[in-house]
Structure formats: C-alpha cells, structure tokens
Structure 1
C-alpha cells in the first residue's frame, strides 16, 4: 500500500520569472468544475484573502457588506479560547490560471488527488464565504501574534467572473439556518448562565420533563410547556446583579425561586401528571409564554436582592389571584398581548413585569434585556 506524504505549508517559488504561491492541496470536482482544499496559516489570511470594499454598490460586489460590529466579538472568541476555539473553512475564488501537481501522478483514485497547487502571486483571492471570520482572524492576530502559525481550511474555486462569484455567495447561503437559541444554550459550555440554566432545569422535575431543549417554538401538539431559550432569558434576568460567590449558590437561588413560582400555578403540575395537555394550557393561558417567564424573572430579581431571606411563597401567593387567560383583556391587553396575540418586545416584558410587581406589592428595577 502506497504512503502519501502531504506537502508542507504554503510557500513561494519563482518559476520562469514568475513568482507563485505553492499550497498543499487536495483536488475535487463539483458540478464538473475542479476545486481545491488546502490549509493556510492564519498569519497569511489577511494578506491573501480579500473582501470587496464597502463603497462598491451591491451589484458590483460578490458578498454582503462587512458588518464590523460582529468582528470584535468573534476575535475575542479566538483570543479568549486559544486552546479550544474552532472556525470552519473559508471559501474563496481565485482569478488566475493555477497548476496542480499530483504527488503520485501515476496513481489513480485518492492518491492522485493529493498534491501541490501553484497560484501566481498576482492572483486575486476573493472571499465568497467567511469574510467575518477573516476579519476576526486579522484582529485576533493583532492581539496575539502567536496564533499566526495555526491553520484554517480553505476551499478554493477557480474564478469565472463576478456573476459566478455572486451566484456562489447566493448558493452557499441559500440553505443556511441559524441554530435555535434553545439548542445553543443546551450545547454552550462556555457561557456560565447557560450552565446555570441547564442545572436549574435538571433539578426541578417539572422543568426537566416539560422543557423543549431544541426549538424556540412549540407546536400545538407538543407535550412541553416551556422552551429552554425562554427559561434561559428569564433566569438571566432573575440573577442579574445578584451576589453569589459560586455557581452552586446561583443555581440554588434560581431553583428556590422557580420552585416557589411553580407552586403558584397548579395547571403546570396538572400537565406534569397528564391531567391536562400542554397544548391546551398554552392555547388558553399566558403564564408559560416567554414574555411572562421573562417578566417573572425580573420580578424575582427583586426578591433575590431585597427579600432574599423571606418566605417567597407568601410573597408570590398573589400570582394565583390573577386571571391568566390569554383572552383576558384586563390586565394583559397592551401588556403581554396585542390584539389578543401574545407578544414579546422590550416594552411588553417591562409592562408585564411592572404590573406583576404591583400586584405582589414589590418594586422591581427596569430591565433592558428583551432577549
């Protein structure tokens, strides 16, 4: 069995008076066109791979305008996680005649596809997908030059003009779907609040059984009452500014609060027992919807800060006296509902939390987050 030795990192050579880049590469074919996959040191990314300038009109560009506000956060992700960050491959077009030299030209199959891709130095590399990753890499390198020897995968297509590049951008993004916030919270092991939310749900049987962890939306037939994203936002509001020395203490406080809240809603426990369906409760009542959960988190923040050692069950007992029917115009229309539909804007959350606090005899602080 033949052994294939991969080429080394990209280098430059001069051949017949022409300077060129030499990339270790694997050759592939899509839609009858050759493309190449290579690895490139991060320090070369800002110099090789360009994106169109913002001042060009959209019809003359091959990608969207760079959203510079996204770059610092992406750069921090790299610099703050140097041992376990991950970036997917960049996709680029090259507007030059390239030469691929197989390491084993006499072979067929996989062995013949591995080799060296030579590209003239005057070639232009245009990012088709990943310009924000490229900008973040550039900023991260300015803060930590040691990252320069690390590599990122590059998928290179041969440029056949602006129209083809624009079509590539459209095709690459055609089926892109952003993951739901719920599954993001479920899988995020960097965010301490995501960890708190997962632990809280795990320690409250009602939440553990009735929380949807993948989707931000619940279908009419879903047996779940809550979404992980809604509980994450609500728990974040609950613990904002609360003094707690350890993760365990924050979790214990949140568990104590949400258990006290659950005791005020007998319908939640009826769903858990199977006496009524989750769909019926969500259809007729608003107390499981994200706008109310967020508002309850804001109200609970007052309990944690100003009534930490008091009996929360007694303070929250007023929740049982409210008419939680979605159809109840008084008090929910203009607060949690608009035209009978549950809505969640910053104003909706704030108005709902203020009303609940008033009913309970609490004064809660403003909360600017409507996530």
Structure 2
C-alpha cells in the first residue's frame, strides 16, 4: 500500500487474471455507453506504467503525436520551482487489459465508488497528457520526494488502435490555447507580467486603452493596444538590465511616457479627438510590432546612455518619424502585402529604421540585416 495515496500493487496472485494487479481507488462513470474510471495515481508510478507509442512508428499506426522533448525542461522546471502550488490536469489513458471494478455497495453511490484492479501485464497508453507524463519523470529524477504526490487519471478500456486514435482526435478537437494576453493577465509568477498589468491599469499612457484578454483588436475596438504587445515591448526594453522590481517599474513607466510625448495620436485618442479604430487603420505605432521595436530601441538607448536621464533628448527624435501606413519607408520593412508583419525579420528591420532615425549605431548583426534589405531594394 502506498503510504499516502491508497494506491497499491498486489503482492500475491489474485483471482483477477494471472499474476499481480494494480489496485486504484476509483469512481465509475459512463460516456457514450462505455464505462470509464477516474482515479488518483502517485507520481512515482507514472513513468513506470504509462507508455508512449514508439517514435519510429508512422503516424497512421500510432495513437498520439510524437513527443516534443523541447517542451520538457520548462514543464519539469514548473513543477520543481513551484512545489507548493503547481497544477497539472488529469491524464487520460487507455488500458489494453481487463479492468475489474469493485464497488463499495450493491446500489446507490456504492455502485459508483470503489476500486479497480488492473493486471500488471496490461499495457497503459496515454491518450492525453504525454508531455505532462514525461515532465513528471524528469522532475522525479531531481526531486524524488514528489513521488508521494498524486495526479488524476481517467482510465478507458483500450478498444483497439482506431478507437485510441479517435480518442486522441476528440480530446484535442476543441482544445483552444488561451491568448497570450489573458495568460499574462492571470500570471502571478512572472514579475514582468505583473509590471505589465500595472502599466496597463495605472499608466497615463495605457490606462483604459488596453485589450486585456485578446491578442488582436477587432476593427471597431476602442482599444489602442493589447496587453501582450505591451509585455513584448517592455520585455525588450528591460532585456539584460539588472534592475530591482521598483527600479524596473519606474523606468518602464518613464520610458513609455517619454515615447507617448512623441506620438500625438495616442494623446488625441485619450482626449477623444481621434477614434482608436481610425488611428490603428492609418498608423502603425500602436501595433505590437511597433511597441516591440520601440522597446528594443529603448534598451539600446539605455545601454548607450551615460546616466539614467540622458536618453530623453535622443528619444525626442521619434517626433520626426512618419508612422502612417502610407509612408513608403515601411514597405517591406514593417508592411508586407498591405499588412503589418510581426515576423522576426520585419521586427529587426523596423528596429533598425528607428535606430537610424535616433542616431544609434547598429550592431554588426543589425547592419548585416540592413545591408541585405537595401541590396534587395536596389535589385
């Protein structure tokens, strides 16, 4: 018996199949006429009993996607860095073997609550949660004490490859990744996310004009910015600067207020002299690309400045930038096919343009990108 989980492995042969059994406390349910069981499993058992399809098999004979090992370090680090408040949702698994449910009673709730016995020879295949399973295995290597904790598992009987593939398709059919903005809004671990929320809610530049949930703005939205765009710009601004939280917050607010002074349309929207949809349609300075580029430029200014305030005069040159979409300087640099592009290449080219307007020296890498763009234009 596991000391903290009521999950055990039988040590003697039982009447259920041949050999030893896993015994799990469980609740029995029914979906689409098929029984399934919800249980708890100690983390130490997860790597031992739950298997992946072999990576070398073709997708047509697997029941799940190939494991993306690049995701594992971050997932494992999440568990290890937050041992008191990490959250993992349930795993879903198919069992290629007999599942025997023993209820606590013959009627009422006792018919649904009890335990399931599964032969150790059975094969457990994860339908949903393979990356969580692998991250748990990685985390256990560093902190074995996590093995006594539990995760919810939903067990289905394995009805063959086609059924398992259909389960994978159904489980992921309507899965929607939350927008980055709402993820930042609800993230209380990331100090920069907290700083960004503070800017969005308190700063005179952004207050009342930030879309807090979506990464995009509808044509009629009265907002000028998205929370994710402010985050990207502020992250770029503070990149590599060793600042405490208070200093970083003060600096970020001062920088965006200084940028605001050079872009009259932002003020005009706040004072209701212009409408946000019109500004977004005619200018690019409230777009996430522009905020990100402005953050990068600010970072370069701060690194080149001899003191904390000497960057202000140089930033005033932004007043000379023509931010209108019709400005031919943006063609191929910030705008492709009539639309603002957020690609890495366009971000680099937009940053270069602003750097040159402010008299900042381009790094060798920036100069290489700029030269390639200019040569393309001359061709």
Band of TM-score, shorter chain: over 0.9
Are 1:131 and 2:116 an aligned pair?
A: no
- Consecutive aligned runs of 4 or more in structure 1 exceeding 4 Å deviation: 364-367
Q: Which residue of 1 aligns with 2:348?
A: 350
CA contact (8 A) 1:298 1:364 kept: no
- 1:205 Cα offset (Å): 2.7
Q: Which residue of 2 aligns with 1:40?
A: 41
Q: Distance in 2 between matches of 1:89 and 1:309?
A: 50
Write the mapping of 1:275-354 to structure 2, written as runs, cut at 5 A.
275-307=273-305, 308-329=307-328, 331-354=329-352
Write the mapping of 1:1-371 to structure 2, written as runs, cut at 5 A.
8-13=6-11, 14-16=13-15, 18-105=19-106, 107-108=107-108, 110-244=109-243, 246-307=244-305, 308-329=307-328, 331-363=329-361
Stretches of structure 1 lacking an aligned partner (at least 5 in a row): 1-6
Q: Distance in 1 between matches of 2:280 and 2:181?
A: 18
Q: Distance in 2 between matches of 1:163 and 1:80?
A: 39
Of 199-208 and 55-64, deviating more is: 199-208
Q: Which residue of 2 aligns with 1:3?
A: none
- 1:313 Cα offset (Å): 4.2
Q: Distance in 1 between matches of 2:42 and 2:195?
A: 37
Deviations 1:213-270 (A, max 9, x none): 11100000111101111111110110012232x2010010000000000111111111
- 1:364 Cα offset (Å): 5.5
Q: Which residue of 2 aligns with 1:4?
A: none
Q: Distance in 1 between matches of 2:314 and 2:171?
A: 54
How many residue pairs were aligned?
Answer: 357
Q: Distance in 2 between matches of 1:364 and 1:239?
A: 19
- CA-based RMSD of the aligned residues comes to 1.6
Q: Distance in 2 between matches of 1:206 and 1:354?
A: 25
Deviations 1:160-213 (A, max 9, x none): 000000000000000011111111111111122212222232331331211111
CA contact (8 A) 2:9 2:20 kept: no
Stretches of structure 2 lacking an aligned partner (at least 5 in a row): 367-379
SS of match in other structure, 1:208: coil
Q: Distance in 1 between matches of 2:309 and 2:19?
A: 80
- 1:9 Cα offset (Å): 2.1
Q: Distance in 2 between matches of 1:243 and 1:114?
A: 55
- 1:273 Cα offset (Å): 2.0
TM-score (norm: length of structure 1): 0.93
SS of match in other structure, 2:308: coil
